[in-house]
Structure 1
């Protein structure tokens, strides 16, 4: 395959050399790697895994907001907005809030919890949450950690029987 440009879709361990969403000229190609000039000005070989080879736009987080009261709730929903204006959502909590949740329950029929779109952070404040969301986004993991807005929301009927 003859390639001339690649768009970074994830920075991996190359935060010094790559910017998510940036287009790089391909200098050379071998097997599963391409050679580009990184942001640091040096020519480097990097796995093709970190790039998109179409003109398709790479989704990048542009803004986010708390949807719930961070002081009173154990699980706080947040809305994420991406550069294509698509909105997604996820739940954030802290280890301490998880402990509070299980202490309050005292219901042996619920011995655990599984929420695939839950993010656990050290503290729930703007700086901490922002830093972690940006890190997930730069690694290409934020879409996996969130759902399209409307999917799985509380006002949907999710009842059922086995």
Structure 2
């Protein structure tokens, strides 16, 4: 799915593609049957240290046993806190021991937001509006590719364990 106008018609995240951090097109079909956390990340955000550490911990703990997948989308729309290019982002995530999937930098708000993010916001609107308010907004997607929960940066990844257990 590449037409940004089609996101409202999508039946699941599996209809979307995104470029991974190396620029390769990835069909989100590869996540079929897995519970996923989709998160917008920023290396220079104040939340980065704690959230990256906890995302790594969740992935290490649940990727094998429960099939958890984490999809991280760098975004520079909030206070310019992800200014780097793909190579710099790769270097940063390596220092954090990230083994989950990292994608190319995207916009999560506005007309040029990535279609996946338009879909996520359409399915799980925010409290004050559908827009993403800050870095490290997390969407839980069930095994059928349906966005079932949305959590802001004030809810840490480890705080999501009880929520995730409902979908395993």
The interval holding the TM-score normalised by the smaller chain is: under 0.3
Question: Which protein is bigger by CA-based radius of gyration?
Answer: 1
Q: TM-score, normalised by structure 1?
A: 0.25
Q: TM-score, normalised by structure 2?
A: 0.24
Instruction: Choose between structure 1 and 2 for higher RCO, CA contacts under 8 A separated by at least 6 residues.
Output: 2
Higher relative helix content: 2
